């Protein structure tokens, strides 16, 4: 699968073959198969194909086959899904860990998981953080919630002026549940949060946690504004992980989290428009690339996670409009084994996910593209006027530390004078 850096796209067309979803296809009949795979599985939508037939203009913009954040309206009967993390626990520049952003045509936005490294991908989309206040956790491995602190604190600094709302499963014991984890995460951030008091808008530095029973079968865990989100058990490492389905306006999109193939996904994910499910890295590559022992690779790759062949069987049973495989390092030398393993048991529409992949889902089409993002991104404009800091809430330095300051008041006063004049203020130094 190709990657993206800055505003550059790369789609490899070679004399010897064609790269499709990370799979190098030989010439001849398999190239024809690959072209059909691109159309069905990598998003040459009907609308785009028709637009592309028009004669190019020397002065007008041509149709894009990539997604530029904040450049396209979302239709009232459309879902946009963006992969903000598709990789493994060891996040890397090319792939963060699990994170998925759902944008609905009614204006709602939902994050599912926020794994290590994913906060950077979220920032790259330039979405006001007030719109990113709803997070659903599939389970409590760090590759699924390891950037929650960054989303929580960084999002508040960058314009989220409301609590971060988090839904997550209980555990077999209280200390293995979402509520316990987030209470202790907030305690771990005590110094961070105390150090921001009286300096910035305080409204975003709160967590609103809803813990639900991980054993619930297709239970409703969220229902607002015409959106219903359900959970059902998953099988992974310990009791506690769940999968989710999001239902809105006749659509159903399912996110499996991490799970061994199970009867609940088989029942509740049937006929989904889009079904996201892990397809773990092939066992031989775990041994070769991760240096696992064969015993560990077999256990992790086939018993704790879902092997590509098993992923294919799951999808052949539930028959989604499109299947999305993730949770592997999507490289030229590892994705072929995953693709070929899946194709032994499933022949339907398929995406091998990579960070910044985008799916636009309508009743008539599922268009799949890559996002082109700006690496020099700054926080987007807040949706509400910032609240002034409450200076009385600041925690002072001790006399010993305050006494260590150098005298730079004269230099700072130049800055104060300029800002006061520009904004009509009368701010004074400490």
Q: What is the pLDDT of residue 27?
A: 32
Is the pLDDT at 25 greater than 50? The verdict is no
Residues 6+ apart with CB under 8 A from 8: 372
Identify the sign of the CA torsion 217, 221, 225, 227: negative
Q: How confident is the model at residue 237 (pLDDT cuts 50, 70, 90)?
A: very high
How far is the CA of 249 from the CAs of 5, 107, 223, 275, in angstroms? 35, 13, 13, 17
CA pair distance 148, 127, nearest whole angstrom = 17
pLDDT in tens, 378-392: 999 899 999 998 899
CA pair distance 14, 31, nearest whole angstrom = 11
pTM, entire model:
0.89
Nearest to 372 by CA among 119, 118, 3: 3
How far is the CA of 296 from the CAs of 197, 291, 311, 396, 422, in angstroms? 47, 10, 20, 52, 63
Residues 6+ apart with CB under 8 A from 60: none
**In the chain, what are the domain boundaries?**
63-370
- What percentage of the chain has pLDDT greater than the value 70? 87
Is the pLDDT at 337 greater than 50? The verdict is yes
Nearest to 33 by CA among 46, 17, 48: 17
For the ranges 61-70, 124-133, 224-233, the lowest mean pLDDT is seen at: 61-70
How many residues does the structure list for the chain? 430
| Whole-number average pLDDT of the chain | 89
pLDDT in tens, 375-429: 999 999 899 999 998 899 999 999 999 999 999 999 999 999 999 999 999 999 9
> Average pLDDT in the 286-308 region?
94
Fold of 63-370: Metallo-beta-lactamase; Chain A (3.60.15)
**Top-confidence residue, 48 or 10:** 48
Six token digits for residue 45: 């939508």
Q: What is the pLDDT of residue 374?
A: 93
Q: How confident is the model at residue 22 (pLDDT cuts 50, 70, 90)?
A: very low
Is the pLDDT at 236 greater than 80? The verdict is yes
Q: How confident is the model at residue 31 (pLDDT cuts 50, 70, 90)?
A: very low
Q: What is the pLDDT of residue 42?
A: 46
The HSE-up count of residue 7 (CA atoms within 13 Å, CB side) is 6
CA pair distance 407, 354, nearest whole angstrom = 51
Q: What is the pLDDT of residue 41?
A: 45
Q: How confident is the model at residue 53 (pLDDT cuts 50, 70, 90)?
A: low
Q: How confident is the model at residue 50 (pLDDT cuts 50, 70, 90)?
A: low
């Amino acid at each position: 699968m190709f990657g993206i850096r800055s505003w550059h796209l790369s789609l490899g067309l070679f004399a010897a073959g064609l790269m499709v979803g990370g799979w190098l296809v030989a010439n001849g009949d398999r190239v024809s198969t690959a072209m059909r795979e691109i159309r069905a599985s990598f998003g040459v939508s009907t609308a785009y194909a028709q637009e592309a037939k028009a004669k190019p203009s020397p002065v007008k913009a041509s149709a894009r086959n990539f997604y530029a954040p904040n450049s396209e309206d979302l239709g009232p009967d459309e879902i946009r899904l963006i992969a903000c993390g598709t990789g493994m626990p060891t996040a890397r520049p090319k792939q963060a860990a699990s994170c998925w952003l759902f944008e609905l045509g009614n204006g709602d936005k939902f994050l599912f998981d926020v794994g290590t490294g994913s906060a950077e991908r979220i920032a790259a989309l330039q979405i006001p953080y007030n719109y990113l206040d709803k997070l659903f956790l599939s389970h409590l491995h760090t590759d699924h919630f390891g950037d929650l602190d960054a989303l929580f604190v960084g999002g508040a600094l960058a314009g989220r002026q409301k609590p971060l709302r988090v839904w997550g499963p209980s555990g077999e014991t209280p200390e293995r549940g979402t509520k316990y984890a987030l209470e202790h995460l907030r305690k771990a951030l005590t110094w961070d949060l105390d150090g921001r008091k009286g300096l910035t808008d305080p409204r975003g530095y709160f967590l609103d946690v809803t813990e639900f029973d991980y054993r619930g079968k297709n239970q409703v865990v969220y229902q607002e504004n015409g959106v219903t989100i359900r959970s059902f058990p998953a099988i992974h490492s310990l009791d506690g992980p769940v999968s989710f389905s999001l239902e809105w306006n006749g659509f159903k999109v399912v996110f499996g989290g991490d799970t061994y193939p199970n009867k609940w996904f088989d029942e509740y994910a049937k006929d989904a428009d889009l079904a996201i499910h892990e397809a773990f890295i092939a066992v031989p590559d775990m041994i070769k690339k991760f240096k696992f022992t064969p015993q560990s690779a077999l256990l992790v790759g086939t018993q704790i996670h879902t092997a590509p062949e098993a992923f294919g069987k799951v999808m052949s049973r539930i028959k989604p409009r499109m299947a999305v495989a993730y949770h592997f390092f999507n490289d030229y030398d590892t994705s072929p084994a995953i693709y070929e393993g899946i194709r032994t048991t499933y022949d339907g529409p398929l995406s091998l996910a990579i960070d910044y992949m985008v799916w636009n889902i309508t009743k008539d089409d599922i268009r799949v593209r890559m996002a082109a993002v700006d690496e020099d991104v700054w926080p987007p404009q807040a949706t509400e006027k910032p609240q002034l800091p409450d200076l009385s809430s600041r925690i002072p330095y001790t006399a010993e530390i305050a006494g260590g300051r150098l005298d730079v008041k004269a230099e700072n006063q130049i800055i104060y004078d300029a800002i006061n004049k520009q904004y009509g203020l009368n701010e004074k130094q400490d």
